[in-house]
Amino acid sequence: MALPLGNLVLHAPTVPKEPGQRVVTAGARVVDVQRPSKDVAIVHLQAPAAAGLQFKAGQYIDVLLKDGARRSYSLANTPNDEGLLELHVRRMEGGRFSTHAYDKLKARDLLRIQGPYGTFVLQDSAAPIVLLASGTGYAPIVSLLRTHSVAIAQRGAVLYWGGRQWSDLYAVESVPSWQAQFPGVRLVPVLSEPNADWQGRTGLVHEAVLQDLTDLSGHEVYACGNPLMIDAARGSFTAQAGLPPEHFYCDAFVISAA
Ligand SMILES: Cc1cc2nc3c(=O)[nH]c(=O)nc-3n(C[C@H](O)[C@H](O)[C@H](O)COP(=O)(O)OP(=O)(O)OC[C@H]3O[C@@H](n4cnc5c(N)ncnc54)[C@H](O)[C@@H]3O)c2cc1C
């Protein structure tokens, strides 16, 4: 915190220019829960269409817990008028909501939600795009890909998706089959603790970007997931590859309990 000594003018490029969206609080019914990996649950929710929850691709909602605590989850699906929402929740050992979601949540359960929030949305630009995800940071990125497929393909995009092991990339059966869903987008999986038979890229996901793209001065970067990855990517892309800081868009999955 800082104590201002006089009137201030703030330059806040991440605050949207559009007037605020209406934030809605609603009960949402669980439609189904899929568990594509040993720690990721894909949860489909149905909010009442009458609640009028209108989100933009890349935004998130809060799940409201009984004691007033809240947990944020990015929306992975495309905006729609029916109140359908898709969340990708990674189970964190000892975590209050994510263990419940992975271990127990089932169809017809009711969750109280609030949203939409966030400014992680596709910018109006022709610049080529680098998408960067760690773990369930894939959720808002797949929402952008599903919603803006034509624009993103025209601009050209590459997704670097990092995990410890192949199973962490829970939405990829094979690179060619993933790429067939998103024409114009190249997928680069990057594993930090791969099995011995892994022949792809290894190490930290943001470092793989820097190895491939030494000049990011004309790009836009959309990064989502682990806050440490986001900080490392922002710092190194701007310092080493000339990315203008205002072209780094991100949502960091900061943990409320921490
Ligand atoms: C904008 C935003 C979007 C997000 N989107 C997603 C998303 O799409 N998918 C996703 O998986 N996550 C997302 N997150 C993270 C998510 O909101 C939760 O933080 C995460 O799921 C953990 O919640 P939890 O209730 O399971 O864990 P918590 O109960 O919050 O605990 C988190 C961790 O802290 C430990 N812990 C808890 N209490 C203590 C304590 N007193 N002392 C020490 N350790 C403790 C727990 O063991 C656990 O490992 C997002 C976060 C933000 C801010």
Residue with the two structure tokens 């004309």: 218
Comparing C-alpha atoms, which of 198, 221, 133 is closest to residue 169?
133
Indicate whether residue 69 lines ligand 1 (CB < 6 A). no
b/e per residue 163-182 (b: at least 16 CB within 10 A): beebebbbbbeeeeebeeeb
Please tell me the CATH superfamily of domain 24-117, with its number.
Answer: Translation factors (2.40.30.10)
Question: Which residue CA neighbors atom 6 of ligand 1 most closely?
Answer: 73
Locate the domains of the chain by residue range.
Answer: 24-117, 129-252
Q: Beta strand 201-202 with 110-117: parallel, antiparallel or unpaired? A: unpaired
Q: Is 60 in the pocket of ligand 1 (CB under 6 A)?
A: yes
What 3-state class would DSSP assign to 250? strand
Verify whether ligand 1 is closer than 6 Å to residue 170 (CB atom).
no
pLDDT tens for each residue of 142-185? 999 999 999 999 999 999 999 999 999 999 999 999 999 999 99
Q: At what angle do helices 205-212 and 227-241 cross, to 10 degrees?
A: 20
CA of 187 to the centre of ligand 1 (A): 27
The enclosing H or E element of 67 equals none
pLDDT at 211 over 70: yes
Q: Report whether residue 207 contacts ligand 1, using a CB cutoff of 6 Å.
A: no
Q: Give the residue whose CA is nearest to atom 36 of ligand 1.
A: 257
Confidence bin at 258 (pLDDT 50/70/90): very low
Q: How far, in Å, from the CA of 88 to the mean position of ligand 1?
A: 13
pTM over 0.95: no
Q: Does domain 129-252 have CATH number 3.40.50.80?
A: yes
Confidence label for 73 from pLDDT (cuts 50, 70 and 90): very high
Q: Are 133 and 162 in contact (CB under 8 A)?
A: yes
Ligand 1 closest atom vs CA 136: 9
- Looking from the CA of residue 139, the nearest atom of ligand 1 is 8
| Atom of ligand 1 at shortest range from CA of 100 | 26
The Cβ-side half-sphere exposure at 221, using a 13 Å CA radius, reads: 30
Asked if the domains 24-117 and 129-252 are classified in one and the same CATH topology, the answer is no
- Which ligand 1 atom sits closest to the C-alpha of 118? 1
> Which atom of ligand 1 has the smallest separation from the CA of 98?
26
Looking at the predicted structure, is the pLDDT value of residue 206 above 80?
yes
